[in-house]
């Protein structure tokens, strides 16, 4: 158990819908990262927040957005869902934002878009 | 951009030693990580290298050569539970702390 929690574990929804994935980092960690893992793409970095501010951005679609709240939990919002958005979404956290920062991953949310 | 290559699959025998290679191209190298991932589960951290040389941690060791853009993960005394995907990930300078992952090497340990 990494100490990173994610909810929900599983999510089934229809195309065109919107969902919110939630992540709570390890106690004391200020950085949160979101990754998408699909069968054909591997783990892809989406976005990083540090202490409430966006720190780095990957190939995150415009239909996706994220934020980190004052209590440091983070939410990833996925809208206008398409079949291709079906994937495992992982959240990770680290103490700071750079340097020797090991990222610890949560258990993931499995999203299925039908 | 970054490019990371690792073999797709490997098979080894219980009790043996296996070496999983990773080659990378990146502008501004700032560290290489190895993670283990069992199917459907979270990646778990195994090792971190930022300087050349070998880092040893129990049955697992990781090596880095920055000039060659090369790393390997060495697993000794293989156990059945080591059957998993092994992910090589590179961090570049100027990108916060984001990691670029390889597609992973699926290791199967057989009796």
A99 confidence band (pLDDT: 50, 70, 90):
low
Nearest to A111 by CA among A8, A11, A31, A4: A11
C-beta of residue A76 within 8 angstroms of C-beta of residue A54: no
pLDDT at A81: 98
Euclidean distance between CA atoms A78 and A16, whole angstroms: 10
Buried residues in A9-28 as b, exposed as e (16+ CB within 10 A): eebebeeeeebebebbbbee
For B100: left if phi > 0, alpha if psi spans -120 to 50, otherwise beta; the answer is beta
β-pair type (B3-5, B99-101): unpaired
Range 67-106 of A in CB contact (< 8 A) with B: 88, 90, 94, 96-106
Strand partners, B58: none
Query: For chain B, which residues lie within 8 Å of any Cβ of chain A, measuring from their own Cβ?
Result: 31, 33, 35, 40-45, 48, 50, 87, 89, 95-104
Euclidean distance between CA atoms B111 and B109, whole angstroms: 7
Range 36-55 of A in CB contact (< 8 A) with B: 42-45, 48, 50, 55
C-beta of residue B103 within 8 angstroms of C-beta of residue B8: yes
Residues in contact with A49: Cβ distance below 8 Å, sequence separation at least 6, in sequence order: A31, A32, A33, A55, A66, A67, A68, A74
> Best mutation site among B31, B85, B90, B98 for testing chain A: the one with the most A CBs within 10 Å?
B98
CA B4 from centre of chain: 11
Strand partners, B32: B49, B90
Neighboring chain A residues of B87 at a CB cutoff of 8 Å: 42-43
Lowest-pLDDT range, A60-64, A66-70, A96-100, B27-31? A96-100
Neighboring chain B residues of A108 at a CB cutoff of 8 Å: 40-42
Euclidean distance between CA atoms B43 and B10, whole angstroms: 18
Q: Could you give the C-alpha distances from A61 to A65, A91, A102, B67, in angstroms and in order?
A: 8, 17, 26, 35
Nearest by CB to residue A42, choosing from B45, B98, B104, is B104
> In angstroms, what separates the C-alpha of B47 from chain A's closest C-alpha?
9
Euclidean distance between CA atoms A105 and A102, whole angstroms: 10
pLDDT at B98: 84
Lowest-pLDDT range, A86-100, B18-32, B73-87, B95-109? A86-100
Strand partners, A64: A78
* B36-72 pLDDT, tens digit each: 999 989 999 999 999 999 999 999 999 999 999 999 9
B20 confidence band (pLDDT: 50, 70, 90):
very high
């Amino acid at each position: 158990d990494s100490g990173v929690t994610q909810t929900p574990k599983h999510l089934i929804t229809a195309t065109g819908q919107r969902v919110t994935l939630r992540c709570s980092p390890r106690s004391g960690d200020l950085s949160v990262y979101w990754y998408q893992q699909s069968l054909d793409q591997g783990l892809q970095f989406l976005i990083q927040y540090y202490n409430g501010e966006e720190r780095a951005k990957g190939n995150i679609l415009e239909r996706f957005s994220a934020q980190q709240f004052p209590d440091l939990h983070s939410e990833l919002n996925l809208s206008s869902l398409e079949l291709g958005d079906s994937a495992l979404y992982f959240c990770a956290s680290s103490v700071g934002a750079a340097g020797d920062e090991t990222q610890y991953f949560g258990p993931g949310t499995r999203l299925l878009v039908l | 951009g970054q490019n990371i290559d690792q073999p797709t699959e490997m098979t080894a025998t219980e009790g043996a030693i296996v070496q999983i290679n990773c080659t990378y191209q990146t502008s501004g190298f700032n560290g290489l990580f190895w993670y283990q991932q069992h199917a459907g589960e979270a990646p778990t951290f195994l090792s971190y290298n930022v300087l050349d040389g070998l880092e040893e941690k129990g049955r697992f060791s990781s090596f880095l050569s920055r000039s060659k853009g090369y790393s390997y993960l060495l697993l000794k005394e293989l156990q059945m539970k080591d059957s998993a995907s092994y992910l090589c990930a590179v961090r570049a300078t100027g990108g916060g702390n984001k990691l670029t992952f390889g597609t992973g090497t699926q290791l199967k340990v057989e009796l």
